[in-house]
Amino acid sequence: MIISLIRDRRRVFPLFVLSCVGAATLAGGCVGPRPGDRIKRCGDEIVVCGQFFHTGVPVVLWLDPKGYDAYRIENRFESGGRDSIPVRKGATPNRYDSVRRHLSEADAAIVRADGWSLSMLQQYVDLFVLHYDVCGTSRRCFHVLHDRRGLSVHFMLDLDGTIYQTLDLKERAWHAGPANDRSVGVEIANMGAYEDPAELDAWYQRDSAGRVVLIPPLTFGATGLRTAEFVAMPARAELVRGRIHDRMLNQYDLTDAQYASLTRLTATLCRVLPRIRPVAPRNVDGEIRSTVLSASELADFSGILGHYHLSESKVDPGPAFDWPRLLDGVRRCR
């Protein structure tokens, strides 16, 4: 009976899970999935401590063809020898750290010896930091961040809603200064916010149908967008004006595709790393704050932040970023 079942590996597999030692012995150690069987992915998975989690929206990993690999120490786009690599802190050509520095001594020793477990990462990561890239496309963002500035971020979100993951979330990416230890970050493709709206004229133009569209900058001759002929219309056609810190700024909104993917990504993070709460800092009136948090406010907060909540010198993700759209969407996903 056992021998006849083993001949049909697909049918016997569920039984094999329950009795693998005996079956493996009888079959000479070769039952269950065949060596070399390909594991199918859906193309929507992110990686956290080596485990795959679905998001429901397109994700390209650093492992994938045309992915962006922040583990590599060489430049991605610009040629040059080892001397051209930006070396930070005088010790490593890496653009990230494998140990988050707010670990207890005992946990840091465990991570050094055995690596991260998901349960340990869940204790230590409680912030999701949103940036815009002032690059317009994820391809150009990686070029500037990795090749030129020697920095890193876990995710990039392109105009067409494609999410690129560049590092496992266990790594301490270099994107948010003192919040790097506690956070996961995303760079959202957008041309940014300016006091003078004329700064945006070079990138946002009306097409033949009269729609305002972002004409993404070409880096090395290509946008890198995965969606051919993608038309990058801001979710709101009009320029959005608003105050960040004490500065009145003008900015065009993200695309609908970016909101759809960011919502699903945020909902995924809030579930996989549950100390990241689906909330953003608010003022006493209940409005999303547009000012920096004090050190004690930041210490007490866990959830979703803009970069401007961390530093007075930063204004991303800008006044056009639609916080209620993100937060309401995340609640509906849960």
Q: Is 172 in the site for Zn ion (CB under 5 A)?
A: no
- Residues numbered 35 to 64 that lie near Zn ion (CB under 5 A) are none
Identified binder of Zn ion from the candidate list 100, 131, 140, 170, rule CB under 5 A: 131
Q: Which is nearer to Zn ion, 44 or 158 (CB)?
A: 158
Spatial distance between the Cα atoms of 217 and 134, rounded to a whole number of angstroms:
10
Binding segment toward Zn ion, per CB under 5 A, in 20-28, 139-147, 237-245, 313-321: 313-321
Least Å distance, CB 211 to Zn ion, is 28
**Residues in CB range of 111: below 8 A, 6 or more apart:** 98, 99, 103, 120
Least Å distance, CB 283 to Zn ion, is 21
Least Å distance, CB 17 to Zn ion, is 46
**Residues in CB range of 288: below 8 A, 6 or more apart:** 280, 281, 282, 323, 324
Spatial distance between the Cα atoms of 289 and 279, rounded to a whole number of angstroms:
12
Instruction: Tell me, by CB under 5 A, how many residues bind Zn ion.
Output: 3
Q: Which is nearer to Zn ion, 168 or 316 (CB)?
A: 316
Which of 276, 290, 263, 126 minimizes the C-alpha distance to 188?
263
Instruction: Report whether 252 contacts 191 (CB < 8 A).
Output: yes
Q: Which is nearer to Zn ion, 139 or 175 (CB)?
A: 175
Least Å distance, CB 311 to Zn ion, is 8
Spatial distance between the Cα atoms of 293 and 291, rounded to a whole number of angstroms:
7
| Pair of tokens at residue 212 | 């305002």
Q: Which is nearer to Zn ion, 47 or 186 (CB)?
A: 186
Tell me the three state secondary structure of residue 9.
helix
Q: Which is nearer to Zn ion, 93 or 177 (CB)?
A: 177
Binding segment toward Zn ion, per CB under 5 A, in 62-70, 89-97, 198-206, 305-313: 305-313
Least Å distance, CB 331 to Zn ion, is 25
Phi, psi of 14 (to 5 degrees): -60, -35
Pairing of strands 127-132, 172-173: unpaired
Q: Is 307 in the site for Zn ion (CB under 5 A)?
A: yes
Q: Which is nearer to Zn ion, 47 or 130 (CB)?
A: 130
- Tokens 């204790």 belong to 123
Task: Look at the chain and count its residues.
Answer: 334
Least Å distance, CB 154 to Zn ion, is 13
Least Å distance, CB 318 to Zn ion, is 10
The CA-based dihedral angle spanning residues 118, 124, 128, 131, taken in that order and rounded to the nearest 10 degrees: -110
Identified binder of Zn ion from the candidate list 316, 323, 327, 330, rule CB under 5 A: 316
Binding segment toward Zn ion, per CB under 5 A, in 116-124, 202-210, 213-221, 314-322: 314-322
Return residues touching Zn ion (CB under 5 A): 131, 307, 316
